[in-house]
Structure 1
Amino acid sequence: MTEQIRMPRVTVFSLGGTIASTSDAGAEDGGVAPRLGAAELVQAVPRLRETAELESVAFRQAPSPDLTVADISELAAEIDERFADGVDGVVITQGTDTIEETSFALDLLVRGPQPVVVTGAMRNPTLAGPDGSANLLAAVQVAVTPEAAGLGALVVLNDEIHAARFVRKTHTTNPATFRSVTAGPIGWVTEGRPRIGLRPAPPRRDDLPRSGTGSFPAVALLTCALGDDLRLVGELDRLGYAGLVIEAFGGGHVPGHAVPMLAEVAARMPVVLASRTGGGELLRETYGFPGSERDLLSRGLIPAGFLDGPKARILLSLLLAGPADPVADLAAVRIAFQRFLGSTFSFGQHSRSR
């Protein structure tokens, strides 16, 4: 009697977005909006049945700008439950506008080593050449790949595999919009076979709350611009913010006149210094003029390392939701950033071929 081989189990969570968007024939305004759920997306790709035993969950039905950190924390809790129940991998479909942030939040919150793959589409199903079905198929193929385990959350679009902590959206409409400017993609998919070329170390989550718990205090994200006096920094307390991420020029520079204001705020709440460039790592000891990275870090700002502003804001938001009180203990946030940034670089180990 031939023993039946068990297919891997994959849960597909849909959150809405372009991949789930269609037009409404009765709508007067035209345009597309998220209307398809996970089951409909899965049914549209017959080859998925050859890849895994699938469960479909319509978790949210929204444009991705409407998603919140609390939504993703709840999703992470659902994913942890599926993994505890024996699911081999998870795929999340959503709008591409916030994939770089939601995937990074999942990178930090999901505890299991099983693959967590986030995907979406740049062309909705009403257009010629929609890419959602191909991206969903590739994402499921990655989710069932043993080599994808232990890598943290992954983003799969356009047959490229990216680590969530590095990837960002770089173009408004191009299907090749997702790029990992600092580190490059960690793998690719060819003829349905995922290849993992680089293995970043799993993120360190010791300092972070468990998924599905806690409230998330407001964290501001401000970007430096030529001639801006950054007066909004002085309004953060009045507006109820608990932390700030400042996207500085270049390697980590702000106008000199803004330094006293930033230093004053950094004495009361966590202020994280990131670069607005979107690539590379924040400098720490190169420039010495007023408003340089050396000046700002000496005044208590926390370096974001390779994290861009949106990702640094996600990490800070999760830290502020923890059981401790990082607002009162700025050192706790600083140490958490150091631990995360110090644990993430372990590249160079090639995966086994399938």
Structure 2
Amino acid sequence: MDVTLFALGGTISMTGHDGGGVVSRLGGADLVAAVPGLAGTGVSLDVRDPRAVPSANLTFGQVLDVLDDAAAAVAGGAHGVVVTQGTDTLEETAFLADLVWPHAQPLVFTGAMRNPTLPGADGPANLLAAVRVAADRTARDLGALVAFKNEIHAARWVAKSHSSSTATFVSPNLGPVGHVVEGRVRLLVGLPRHAPLPRPAAEGLAANRVALHTVSLDDDGTGLAGLADSHQGLVVAGFGVGHVPADLAPVLGELAGRIPVVLTSRSGAGSVFTDTYGAVGSERDLMRRGLIGGGLLRSYQARVLLRTLLAGGADADRIRAVFADRS
């Protein structure tokens, strides 16, 4: 089996330097050399180093460029692709990849929470698991995946849940879709795939900005003034099942008359409602004001989806339809 590895930096590749702290210095070949048992998998790795940056510095365009290279690798015969990167934005980059990845071949993201200078560094084990998944035929047609701590998560549902734990990646509404057990990939859940979205062009991304506003106690929306003049979309992370303070509701309604506004929950798990509560600022009120229900999508995922749609030229009806189908 041939697997292509794209190394993008992050904690998995960080070592110390004279200025203090750790920085990205290890390339893909270094990562591979540090993985015990990798040679015994029978997988042939084609290692690429497109960039080495903290994941906080990654952009939509850079991630999409890597996906273009990944697609070329698949066209050239790769049976799967692994991407290593920092965990800070991994749930967003993997979700973006899942939106546009059209291939049956597995696309697997992984990284590390403990850098290589620490006891118990988890990068080698995570990379070994990711390579096994990428090379396994049972992982085909599942879209983008995340392999971490010998768990396999669907990119569309995965979330980073802890700032430092090696068990940080979870799927709150689903759980892992599989595990790597004694070197064997065990897929337990099959997920129907959505049709891939068009890959947005650089011009579309540059022209479309999407803001994220997390609602908090006594929030009157003052911080949203002028947002529709600078942004083409907004994701709101509301209370519970999709509630906001009464004073904020008309502000969001006015914005929804000018740009797409998607309602999600700040709770971290569960769906926003559409038709249960009726007070001003409730989900029913907000839907009447034109907001789009984000369903089970986390706010970060909803922002990635909305910007991808806007950058691809989707109109309001198309945006509503896609969110209804994917959330």
Q: TM bucket by the smaller chain?
A: over 0.9
Which one is further off, 195-204 or 87-96? 195-204
For 1:331, the equivalent position in structure 2 comes to: 317
**Pairing 1:149-228 to 2, within 5 Å after superposition:** 149-205=140-196, 208-210=197-199, 214-216=203-205, 217-228=208-219
The answer to whether the Cα contact below 8 Å between 2:113 and 2:166 also exists between their aligned partners in 1 is yes
In the alignment, the residues of structure 1 paired with residue 122 and residue 231 of structure 2 have an alpha-carbon distance, to the nearest angstrom, of: 39
Q: Following TM superposition, by how much is the alpha carbon of 1:214 offset from its aligned partner in structure 2, in angstroms? A: 4.3
Secondary structure of 2:162's counterpart equals coil
Secondary structure of 2:98's counterpart equals helix
In the alignment, the residues of structure 2 paired with residue 40 and residue 243 of structure 1 have an alpha-carbon distance, to the nearest angstrom, of: 41
The answer to whether the Cα contact below 8 Å between 1:9 and 1:89 also exists between their aligned partners in 2 is yes
For 1:19, the equivalent position in structure 2 comes to: 12
The answer to whether the Cα contact below 8 Å between 2:228 and 2:258 also exists between their aligned partners in 1 is no
Q: Following TM superposition, by how much is the alpha carbon of 1:252 offset from its aligned partner in structure 2, in angstroms? A: 0.4
For 1:40, the equivalent position in structure 2 comes to: 30
Q: Following TM superposition, by how much is the alpha carbon of 1:15 offset from its aligned partner in structure 2, in angstroms? A: 0.8
Secondary structure of 1:117's counterpart equals strand
Q: Following TM superposition, by how much is the alpha carbon of 1:156 offset from its aligned partner in structure 2, in angstroms? A: 0.7
Q: Following TM superposition, by how much is the alpha carbon of 1:300 offset from its aligned partner in structure 2, in angstroms? A: 1.0
In the alignment, the residues of structure 2 paired with residue 331 and residue 193 of structure 1 have an alpha-carbon distance, to the nearest angstrom, of: 44
Give the unaligned 5+ runs of structure 1.
Answer: 1-7, 342-354
**Pairing 1:302-341 to 2, within 5 Å after superposition:** 302-322=292-312, 324=313, 326=314, 329-341=315-327
- The alignment status of 1:80 with 2:80, answered yes or no, reads no
Give the unaligned 5+ runs of structure 2.
Answer: none
1:258-277: CA deviation from partner (whole Å, max 9, x where unpaired): 11111111111110000001
Secondary structure of 2:326's counterpart equals helix
Q: 2:2 aligns with which of 6, 9, 19?
A: 9
Q: Following TM superposition, by how much is the alpha carbon of 1:47 offset from its aligned partner in structure 2, in angstroms? A: 2.2
Q: Following TM superposition, by how much is the alpha carbon of 1:283 offset from its aligned partner in structure 2, in angstroms? A: 1.0
Secondary structure of 2:195's counterpart equals coil
1:243-264: CA deviation from partner (whole Å, max 9, x where unpaired): 0000000000011111111111
- The alignment status of 1:247 with 2:245, answered yes or no, reads no
For 1:277, the equivalent position in structure 2 comes to: 267
* Amino acid across the alignment from 1:195: R
For 1:50, the equivalent position in structure 2 comes to: 40
* Amino acid across the alignment from 1:107: D
Aligned residues: 324
In the alignment, the residues of structure 2 paired with residue 45 and residue 89 of structure 1 have an alpha-carbon distance, to the nearest angstrom, of: 18
Secondary structure of 1:62's counterpart equals coil
The answer to whether the Cα contact below 8 Å between 1:70 and 1:215 also exists between their aligned partners in 2 is no
Secondary structure of 1:294's counterpart equals helix
Q: 2:82 aligns with which of 87, 91, 98?
A: 91
The answer to whether the Cα contact below 8 Å between 2:36 and 2:124 also exists between their aligned partners in 1 is no
In the alignment, the residues of structure 1 paired with residue 169 and residue 201 of structure 2 have an alpha-carbon distance, to the nearest angstrom, of: 28
In the alignment, the residues of structure 2 paired with residue 204 and residue 293 of structure 1 have an alpha-carbon distance, to the nearest angstrom, of: 29
In the alignment, the residues of structure 2 paired with residue 246 and residue 204 of structure 1 have an alpha-carbon distance, to the nearest angstrom, of: 26
Q: Following TM superposition, by how much is the alpha carbon of 1:187 offset from its aligned partner in structure 2, in angstroms? A: 0.6
* Amino acid across the alignment from 1:149: R
- Over the residues paired in the alignment, what is the CA RMSD in angstroms? 1.3
**CA spacing shift, 1:212–1:193, aligned 2, 3 Å:** farther
For 1:146, the equivalent position in structure 2 comes to: 137
Secondary structure of 1:56's counterpart equals strand
Alignment TM-score, normalising by the size of structure 1: 0.89
For 1:262, the equivalent position in structure 2 comes to: 252
The answer to whether the Cα contact below 8 Å between 1:220 and 1:241 also exists between their aligned partners in 2 is yes
Secondary structure of 1:279's counterpart equals coil
**Pairing 1:62-77 to 2, within 5 Å after superposition:** 62-77=53-68
In the alignment, the residues of structure 2 paired with residue 286 and residue 104 of structure 1 have an alpha-carbon distance, to the nearest angstrom, of: 29
The answer to whether the Cα contact below 8 Å between 1:223 and 1:246 also exists between their aligned partners in 2 is yes
Secondary structure of 2:189's counterpart equals coil
The answer to whether the Cα contact below 8 Å between 1:107 and 1:203 also exists between their aligned partners in 2 is no
For 1:295, the equivalent position in structure 2 comes to: 285
In the alignment, the residues of structure 1 paired with residue 317 and residue 2 of structure 2 have an alpha-carbon distance, to the nearest angstrom, of: 42
Identical residues among aligned pairs (%): 48
The answer to whether the Cα contact below 8 Å between 1:74 and 1:211 also exists between their aligned partners in 2 is no
The answer to whether the Cα contact below 8 Å between 2:3 and 2:44 also exists between their aligned partners in 1 is yes
